[in-house]
Amino acid sequence: MTDIASLTARPIAHRGLHDDNRTRWENTASAFRAAIAGGFGIELDVQLSADSVAMVFHDAELDRLTGATGPIADRCADELRDLAVGGTEDRIMTLVETLDLVDGTVPVIIEMKDNGARNGDLARAVARDVAGYRGPVAIMSFEHALLDAFRAMETGVPLGLTASGISNAALAEHRPQLEAGIDFVSYQVAALPNAFVAEVRARGLPVITWTVRTPEQVALTRAHADQMTFEGFDPDAA
C-alpha cells in the first residue's frame, strides 16, 4: 500500500509539467517525463473510452486538445490512442501506458472524472489498472459516486476527495466522504482557509491544494495545507 506521506513529499505537477499547452501539452508523455525529470509528483485525469478503458484525458469532449470532435466516450481506446494532442507527436495515452512510463519514479495522483451512468465502469477500470502497480499512487475525485464505487472494491489504494467551496452548505456536502473514509483531500486553494480543511488536518489527514499559480497561493498552501498541485512556475524556486 502507498505510504500517504510519499504523496505530499514533493510538489505535484498539474496534468504533468506542461507549458500551458504551447509545446508540451497537458496529460501527455512529454509533460509526464518533464515532471519526472524535475522530481515532481504527477496529477492526471482519466476518462472512460467506449470500450471501458481508462484514458488519460481531462475533458469529456475531444475538441480543445485534439483535431477531433465529440465525446471521448464515443470512441474506443485504439481510436483515441491514434489522436495527436495539440498537433504534437504526443498521443492520448491509456492509464496503463502512463503508469508504465512513470514506473514508480514519482507519485501519481489519478483524478477520476465524472462519467455519469458509467462511473462504476470507470472505477472498475482504474482499480484494474492500478492493481499490482509498485509505485506510489492514489485516486481522487469530485464525484462522491465514483469515490463510493472505488472504495467498495477495497483495493487498499489511498482515496481522496477533490473539493471546493467556502459556504456552509458547500462544506457540509463534503462531510459524508470524510465520515465514509478518505485518506486525503485535494482542495481549491482560493477557498482556503475554511473549517472543513482545518478539520481534515486536525484528524491527521493531508490536504493538497489545487491549482497553485501565484506566490500568494503558495503562501496560502504553506499556511493551511500540506502540499500543492501547481502549474506555470517552478515551485522549487518559489
In the numeric block, which cell numbers belong to residue 23?
509545446
The angle at the Cα of 133, spanning 7 to 151, to the nearest 5 degrees, equals: 70
pLDDT digits (tens, 9 = 90+) for 145-183: 999 999 999 999 999 999 999 999 999 999 999 999 999
Inside any domain, residue 35: yes
Counting the structural domains of the chain, the total is: 1
**Which CATH number is 71's domain given?**
3.20.20.190
pLDDT digits (tens, 9 = 90+) for 72-96: 999 999 999 999 999 999 999 999 9
Inside any domain, residue 238: no
Which of 57, 65, 20, 16 is CA-nearest to residue 36? 16
Inside any domain, residue 57: yes
Helix axes 29-38, 95-102, angle to 10 degrees: 30
- Pairing relationship of beta strands 184-188 and 207-212 according to DSSP bridges: parallel
Beta bridge partners of 93: 56
pLDDT digits (tens, 9 = 90+) for 9-22: 999 999 999 999 99
What pTM was computed for the model? 0.98
Inside any domain, residue 151: yes
Which of 117, 103, 108, 188 is CA-nearest to residue 146? 117
Inside any domain, residue 191: yes
Inside any domain, residue 237: no
Amino acid symbol at 84 = A
Range of the domain at 216: 4-232
Inside any domain, residue 176: yes
DSSP code for 118: G
Question: How many angstroms separate the CA atoms of 238 and 215, rounded?
Answer: 7
Owner of C-alpha cell 464505487:
149
Inside any domain, residue 85: yes
